[in-house]
Amino acid sequence: MFYFVQISLGVPSKEPLKLLPFTVKVLVPKEKPKHYTFTKTFNLALVKPDLPFAVQFNYGRLPGNEPMYVRAMLVFANPIQAGKRVETCRNHYDKLRPARGEVLAKSVLHSYQPGPGVYQQGEPANPQSWLSIVVPATGTQIQHIYEMKCKNTCFRNMTHRAIEIIFTLEDMWGNAYARHVMGLQSCSSPFRDLKDMKKPQRNCKRAQTPSTRSSGRKRPRLLSVESESIDSSTSEVESIDVSRMESAGNDIVTNEQNFVPLPVLALAFSIQWDRCAAVLWWRCRCRVAIVSSVDDQAVVQHYPTRREFALG
């Protein structure tokens, strides 16, 4: 059956719609070489230009087994640029126009398996007519293979602009019953770009989780002293310190008058040292025996302990 309904004019809708069951899955091959991938984290398919990528659709049907179709259409992800149609760059347009015509030359998304019932729709002369691919939906599950003709780095139209692909489940009159939106990026190295996209997330996780490594040195403990905790005793000590500082200042002023000779200072130091030794001796709890020599005979003198001295 010929699908004659053209896409409606104006900005395509991205609002969720699910009047009928409709699921979309990018079939990533398990064996190598792989030239495209899909990430659920970003809801994004990364593909290489001019190479196929497969998509599987599972859907419900209308009563009476009416003909159903799946439409695929590219739009810009930025809402500010949503009113502009996604088209091929000038270089790819000049290469595609002689062999495929005006509609396919303007379209970035192509069908890799064209055949009966697959339609490339859109009006190239009308910038408000979005370019799309319509595939017949037979049964309750189909698979279709697409390809991209431009990269996201192509000059002018798609230069570093994020794009999305809208899949809609429609009847033969163009009424939509379900809608699915996902990101699509055409690049020369999908797996490298995917790795670069995951790096900021890893850095954020590392910043949020505390580090288990120790710094190797202890941090100084900060002690906070409140004014209320200072009691009267502390204030007295401060006053004493101030008085000492004042007396020290007076000593500095009168240093020439109170000059003490060096031998006198040495004598005072020796007296002070003797006093310390005496205190240490009195604190001993055992007898101290001193051996002296009197007339070439050894005499042992016993000195009483502190306790014996107190008892008399």
Cis preceding linkage at 33, omega within 30: yes
Gap between the Cα atoms of 229 and 24, Å rounded: 71
Q: Is 154 annotated as a binding residue?
A: yes
Write the DSSP string, 278-296: HHHHHT--S-EEEEEEETT
| Bridging pattern class, strands 52-59 and 141-148 | antiparallel
Beta-bridged to residue 8, according to DSSP, are none
State the DSSP string of 252-276: HHTTTTT---HHHHHHHHHHHHHHH
**What are the CB-based long-range contacts (under 8 Å, 24+) for 267-272?**
none
Specify the amino acid at residue 150. C
Cβ–Cβ under 8 Å, residues 144 and 113: yes
Check residue 120 and report its DSSP letter: E
Q: CA 183, CA 154: separation in Å to the nearest integer? A: 17
- Give phi and psi for 56, each to the nearest 5: -110, 135
**DSSP count for the chain of H helices, then E strands:** 5, 14
Distance of alpha carbon 59 from alpha carbon 23, whole angstroms: 6
Is 284 annotated to bind a ligand? Reply is no
Task: Determine contact, residues 28/38, Cβ cutoff 8 Å.
Answer: yes
Binding site for Zn(2+): which residues?
150, 154
Binding site: which residues?
150, 154
